[in-house]
Amino acid sequence: MTEQIKFFLPGPSYVLEEVRQAMTGPMAGHRSAPFKAFYLKIAERLPKVLRTAGDVMVATGSSTLVMESSVLSCAASDVLNLTNGAFSERWHSISKSTGKNADKVAFPWGEAVDPDTVRAALRRKRYEAVTVVHNETSTGVMSPLAEIARAIREESDALVLVDTVSSLGGAPVEADAWGLDVVLAGTQKALALPPGLAVFTLSDRAAERAAKVPHRGFYTDLLRYRDKHREGGFITTPGIPLLYALDRQLDRMLAEGMEARWTRHELLYRRTAEWAAARGHEYASAPDARSFTVSCLRPPAGVDPQAIVKGLAERGFTIGGGYGDWKPTTFRIGHMGEVQERDLDVLLDEIDQVVEGVAAGAAVR
């Protein structure tokens, strides 16, 4: 039986019943031989999702844990944070709060990170690491990650730290081909898993540099994660039920195929864009930088986005409101994870009905 999805938050996203059921498996000793064999099967499949020949580690914690860990592990001092929304700003706050000498190059909300501006910044100063968010969930902007990484690699020897929290599994991410040193993502977005785990890569050159960085912490030391992973395990007790879910969802994702998954997400974005243009909902993200996984929209004049979110909730549908400063003016549709075009079509029709009601209510008043 196919499940109709009515839950379109830009994370956490809808988790299929089958994957939720997988979490009810019995507990196991995480250092036992059967559990190690189970984890090895995860370790063999995850690199196919992040497109790397290297290791992919799993942390029990949310994406922010690995954002912080990557800064602590990969730079002793000088970090450059590229910002264009709330989550890239978070990486700047993390860099400062962990005592790094952090600069930022800020792009306006709604716009992509521009590779040429990044090049210019790297010519002015040497950095040990540069952070970039591939897909800004707050604004629905997807930046040209391959070009940004190329600019960083060509202009410097800085490590490229990338947040793919809301793009991994929903848009092309090529850890090796694009020269990315740390690629991290929580599992609760386009991977369509419950929150609580984060996956990440650590390139060989990043591991070599990390070995020389003092005070990497314990829970935040990516090198420690990698060494334990190579022994077949974890630095601490992992979220075992979440790993059961990951195991099941990896099979589903790889059966669909990563390319097919990216294409499905692109089509969901295009379907949303077509509908938005016809109804007068305006994208808040620049036209050349729209996300495959989240559409951030401004409704037509006179329609309150928060009334749309509320009206949908009354009908049993969930979408995201605007984020931060954009809360009063935008709403966000998370078309990610396991959402199919038929689910999206039902949602868009529901939004039409809610907007009609909101507009009629405004006319009466």
Ligand X SMILES: Cc1ncc(COP(=O)(O)O)c(C=O)c1O
For ligand X, the binding residues (CB under 6 A) are: 11, 62-64, 87, 133, 137, 163, 165-166, 186
Count of CA atoms in the C-beta half-sphere (13 A) of 121: 25
Distance (Å, whole) CA 129 – CA 79: 5
Measured from the CB atom, the residue of 261 and 332 that comes closer to ligand X is 332
Name the nearest CA neighbour of 173 among 182, 164, 181.
164
Q: How far is the CB of 11 from ligand X (least distance, A)?
A: 5
Q: Are 59 and 234 in contact (CB under 8 A)?
A: no
Q: First and final CA of the chain: distance in angstroms?
A: 45
Q: Which is nearer to ligand X, 99 or 324 (CB)?
A: 324
Least CB distance to ligand X at residue 239 (A): 13
Q: Which one, 70 or 137, has the nearer CB to ligand X?
A: 137
> CB of residue 122 vs ligand X: minimum separation in angstroms?
23
Instruction: Please tell me whether the peptide bond between 287 and the residue prior to it is cis, using omega within 30 degrees of 0.
Output: no
Q: Indicate the residue among 70 and 156 with the shorter CB distance to ligand X.
A: 70
Residue 188 CB, shortest distance to ligand X, in Å, is 6
CB of 19 to ligand X, least distance (A): 18
Beta-bridged to residue 279, according to DSSP, are none
Question: Closer CB to ligand X, residue 156 or residue 291?
Answer: 291
The single-letter code of the amino acid at 111 is: E
- Contacting residues for 196 by C-beta, under 8 A, at least 6 apart: 60, 61, 62, 187, 188, 239, 242
Q: How far apart are CA 73 and CA 161, in angstroms?
A: 11
User: In the bound complex, what is the minimum distance in angstroms from residue 232's beta carbon to ligand X?
Assistant: 26
Residue number, 98 or 279, with CB nearest to ligand X: 98
Q: How far apart are CA 341 and CA 339, in angstroms?
A: 7
